Structure 1
Amino acid sequence: MKLTIWGAARQVTGSMHLLELEDYKILIDCGLDYEKDTYQEENQHFPFDPGSIDVVILTHAHIDHSGNLPTLIRMGFEGQILCTPATADLTELLLLDSVNIFISKQSKASKGRRKRGPGPQPLYLHKHVMDTVDRFVTINFHKTFRINNEVALEFIPIGHLLGAAAVVLTLQDQGITKKIAFTGDIGRSNYPVLGDPEPIPQVDYLVSESTYGGRLHSSEMTLEQKLISTIQESCIKNPGRLIIPAFSIGRTQSLVFALNQIFSKGLLPYVKIFVDSPLAESATAIYRKHYQLLNQEAQDFYTHQGDQFEFEGLSYVHDKRESVSISNYHEPCIIISSAGMLEGGRIQDHLYYNIQNYYCTILFIGYCSKGTLGHRLLRGDSIVRLRNRDLMVYASIQKTDLLSGHGDHKDLVNTVKQQDPTKLKQVFLVHGEDKSSQSLAEALREIDYKVSIPELGEVFDL
């Protein structure tokens, strides 16, 4: 049996791992690699023949894990894609949104180079997404699914996102039973809406993410305390507006539920809240559909107080006209809009009208990659460019990691520590910057685990 790390090697995006038996090939995740220079074009070049892959197993819906599936199909993959039901629903939403982003980028590029021909072609189109959706075979958590006579699969809830799973494979390799697990992205305990990550059963090999290796989440206050303090300062004490850039799927639902709890308890006076993201509204409907996957706190809230994602003063903004009209709302308010790193989406409109507003606070609740507008604001740039204009930054810029969906260093170590080090033959650390992976590796080696940090394309005989 061979394991090849074809993505997220010493970096965060582009998860893709190939497991090869004697005559059967399994691909675990097929994500977009955003760290390639021209990621849209370069992602269509696979280091293997897509037609040779027998089956794909998808850990969760985020684009850095699912976003290149339509390309794989377009290039010749003909097999099934195995995932949980919630992952299938959310992945469809995200892939369709990716098509819109590709087409938008093509349109903008073409306007600037009309004399030199059309801009870059979209990586895939709506048709390819629908072809992908047709390949989904959904499997519930904790249900053993026999892929063939040699391979059995089980999904373990891992937190992080609705439907996200660790993949546990039991394989017969030349008459020997072997077990390998892929964590996907590991969630954190006591996260709004989602359940805690469950223990992964004993395996021989573990492929683990390492995003927050060496880093701990803030612990000086709770999420509720942070939100109350920020809203109090930005909307009540100083009657202004609070803008929260948030990814539409996962982060927005957790934030809305946290706000629902605060206002339902009467911990703050009424403040108008706008959720300005059609994608977020569609994703929220999927969260309602898969109600049984929400944590006990969210289910109890629904039983006693009603819909976790609807409450007085909360409005979902449906169209562009409504979105533009928010700029004419002069009372204190909270605006939740995508995208989380400020690269495109309706959030840019809200920034354009408010970045020079002394009575505006922008609260970042997620990671912003280098080079993004969000990263420039967080590093303290005093001038930013929006709509071809240089604008002074007078708004207050704040951030919190209390809504990060990733487990921190302690969570990652605890996930591995569920495994007996005398039985676990090897841990492979992926999905993390080199510094993060090295920090996690050091901690694991100190407690007697054998750890590798693979290079891209590195092959391991298991």
Structure 2
Amino acid sequence: MKLTFWGAAEKVTGSMALLTLEDGYQVLIDCGVDMSNLTEEDPIYPNSAFPFDVSLVNVVLLTHAHLDHSGKLPNLYKEGYEGQILCTSPTASLTNILLEDSARINQRKLKTYNKKKSKGQSLEQFNFVPENLYTESDVSNTMQEVVPIQFGRRFNVKPGLWVTFIPAGHLLGAAHIYIEAEDNGEMKTLLFSGDIGRKEYPLLKDPAPVPQADYIICETTYGDREHQQIKDSAQEILDVIIKTCVDIPGRLIIPAFSIGRTQAVLFELHKLFVEGKLPPIKIFSDSPLGIQSNRIYDQFSNHLNKEARQFIDENDSLFNFENMEYVLKANDSKAISNYNEPCIIISSSGMMEGGRIQHHIQANMENPYATILMVGFSAEGTMGARLRDNEGTLRLGNEEHKVHCKIEQTDSFSGHGDKNDLIEFVKQQDKSKTKQIFLNHGEEESMFAFKKTIEDLGYPNVVVPTKGHEFII
């Protein structure tokens, strides 16, 4: 049996691992976009989105919907993949709307690219391969091949191969994936963490216990850090609102992923409103994708935690309350700039690489009365990371802009488990039975710090794979 790491190797985004069984059957676990590098460095043939032959892959297992895990699924089918995608039902619904949104963004990028190309203008600013930009039709073809699998069900993929999806927290529908495979007459087990969630996270159930496995593939996004306590998140955001929208008064801009982070922020704001603590200011939720995601959270409310289900019973809604305005049309989004009263703007994307958040940032970065509150992780190279590491200017296109707004950060809304959560995940494994632990989905410093942490706990054979690194297991 062979395990090859094709993504999220010594970096956070682009999760993709290929498991090849003794009979040649290939299992692809996640198929994500590398948000920090949208051009493939070593494809097997020109303009391929992959460094392997996708026509040889037999089945795809998807841990959750975020694009750094799902964003290349349509490319698989464009390049000849003919198999199915297995994931949970909420993940299927969220992946559908995320990929559709990505396809629309792709086509806007392609239109701009072709326009400049036809005029003979420089194409240096484009960091993508045009042939790899998929369409909504490609997404539709992809979603027809999705097979929803219940949490906790031991699903027989083929003779000698079983998979089980285990609740991971992190995002609605997110799963750890447990694989059991017969290999030369011996049963071997692998546990893919996906993205590990946090306990007591808004809306979501806690990560479930995981079984013993021979091989562990563990994410390390926050492998060297501890989060602020979640119970402080509502007070923390309230403090920022008071400072920004009441004391000055100004406007608070929150870049947030449309799926997951936006719902957590809206839920905390709704709780503050119910408790009578939220100032009477306008809140703009400016993300059509976020609105679609809200509906899916409502649809799968049985997957949410006890607090969220009880809140729905008492308040009829998770996300709708007075002073909340959902913005659908692009013109209405741009018109928010003309709103002169204090307000809160929640918009996507969280890393600011696309979406409506970009024009809100551009309109407010030179406003000393504006505050940008970063509530999520931004991969190196993204606009979010450049703003987070603000040195007084921000380059947009070919122009440098002064940054006079305030930049605040919090990780209390992070859906990723911190160092202690990752340790708890690993410690469920018996040291004497675990043969090897692979660390991925983290920045290099975080990975090697966590490697030392679990080695100090007595776990042997801890490895940090590089891209293309192949292991015989």
1:270 aligned partner: 280
Match of 2:457 in 1: 447
Partners of 1:284 and 1:326 in 2: CA distance: 21
- Assess if the C-alpha contact under 8 Å between 1:110 and 1:118 holds in 2: no
Map Cα deviations across residues 16-68 of structure 1 (whole Å, 9 max, x no partner). 11112122211111112234462599683433321111111111111111111
Structure 1 position 108 matched with structure 2 position 118: no
Q: Deviations over 1:359-415 (max 9, x none)?
A: 211111112233333323322332334586644322221111111111111111110
1:301-324: per-residue Cα shift (whole Å, max 9, x none)? 111222111111111101012212
- Letter in structure 2 aligned against 1:31: G
Q: Give the distance between the partners of 1:301 and 1:399, measured in 2 at CA.
A: 28
Q: Is the 8 A contact 2:13 2:379 kept in 1?
A: no
Which residue of 123, 129, 135 maps to 2:133?
Answer: 123
Matched with 2:159 is 149
Q: What is aligned with 1:244?
A: 254
Matched, 1:32 2:43: no
Moved over 6 A (4+): none
Contact 1:169/1:179 (<8 A) preserved: yes
Q: Any conservation in 1 of the 2:35–2:382 contact (CA below 8 Å)?
A: no
Rounded to whole Å, the distance in 2 between the matches of 1:101 and 1:324 is 17
Pair 146,404 (structure 1): closer, same or farther in 2 beyond 3 Å: same
Deviation at 1:91, TM superposition (A): 0.8
Tell me, in whole angstroms, the C-alpha distance in 2 between the residues paired with 1:144 and 1:447.
31
Please state if 1:338 is matched with 2:318.
no
- Give 1:76's aligned amino acid: G
Is residue 242–residue 335 contact of structure 1 (8 Å, CA) maintained in 2?
A: yes
On the 8 A contact 1:429/1:437 being kept in 2, the answer is yes
Task: Answer yes or no: is the 8 Å Cα contact 1:169–1:181 preserved in 2.
Answer: yes
Identity between Structure 1 and Structure 2 (%): 47
Letter aligned with residue 253 of structure 1: Q
> How far, CA to CA, are the matches of 2:41 and 2:444 in structure 1?
24
Q: Is 1:74–2:78 an aligned residue pair? A: yes
1:459 and 2:455 matched:
no
Q: Work out the CA distance in 1 between the residues paired with 2:41 and 2:304.
A: 34
- Structure 1 residue 353 corresponds to structure 2 residue 363: yes
- TM-score with structure 1 length normalisation? 0.95
RMSD value, Cα: 2.1
Q: Secondary structure at the match of 2:7?
A: coil
Unaligned runs of 5+ in 2: 124-129
Q: Judging changes above 3 Å, is the alpha-carbon distance between structure 1 residues 58 and 291 closer, same or farther for their aligned structure 2 residues?
A: same
Rounded Cα–Cα distance in structure 2 between residues aligned with 1:233 and 1:361: 9
Alignment of 1:295-314 (within 5 A): 295-314=305-324
- Helix, strand or coil for the counterpart of 2:176? strand
**Range 275-284 or range 352-361, more displaced:** 352-361
Q: 2:416 is matched with which residue? A: 406
After superposition, the Cα gap between the structure-2 partners of 1:363 and 1:432, relative to the gap in structure 1 and judged at 3 Å, is same
The separation in 2 between residues aligned to 1:36 and 1:376, in whole angstroms, is 15
| Preserved CA contact (<8 Å) 1:213 1:409 | yes
Tell whether the 8 Å contact from 2:393 to 2:400 is kept in structure 1 after alignment: yes
Following the alignment from structure 1 to structure 2, what is the Cα–Cα distance between the partners of residues 342 and 47? Answer: 27
- The match for 2:403 among 393, 404, 408 is 393
One-letter code aligned to 1:245: P
1:374 to 380, 384, 388: 384
Structure 1 counterpart of 2:313, one-letter code: T
Q: 1:220 to 1:321 in 2, by over 3 A?
A: closer
| Structure 1 residues 40 and 231: CA distance shift in structure 2, 3 A | farther
Matched, 1:83 2:87: yes
Taking the aligned partners of 1:270 and 1:340, their CA distance within structure 2 comes to: 25
Find 1:57's aligned residue among 35, 44, 61: 61
**Alpha-carbon displacement from aligned partner over 1:185-214 (angstroms, at most 9, x marks no partner):** 111111111111111111111111111111
CA positional deviation for 1:162: 0.8
> How many residues get paired?
462
Structure 1's 403 and 457: CA in aligned 2 closer, same or farther, altered over 3 A? same
SS of residue in 2 equivalent to 1:113: helix
Alignment-derived partner of residue 20 in structure 2: 20
TM-score, normalised with respect to structure 2: 0.93
Q: Is the deviation greater in 422-431 or in 342-351?
A: 342-351
Conserved 8 A contact 1:247-1:340: yes
Give, as a single letter, the amino acid of the residue that structure 2 aligns with 1:459. Answer: E
Distance 1:41 1:302, change over 3 A: farther
- Please list every run of 5 or more consecutive structure 1 residues that lacks an aligned counterpart in the other structure: none
**Partners of 1:44 and 1:123 within 8 A in 2:** no
1:335-373 CA distance string (max 9 Å, x none): 101122223321222223322222211111112233333
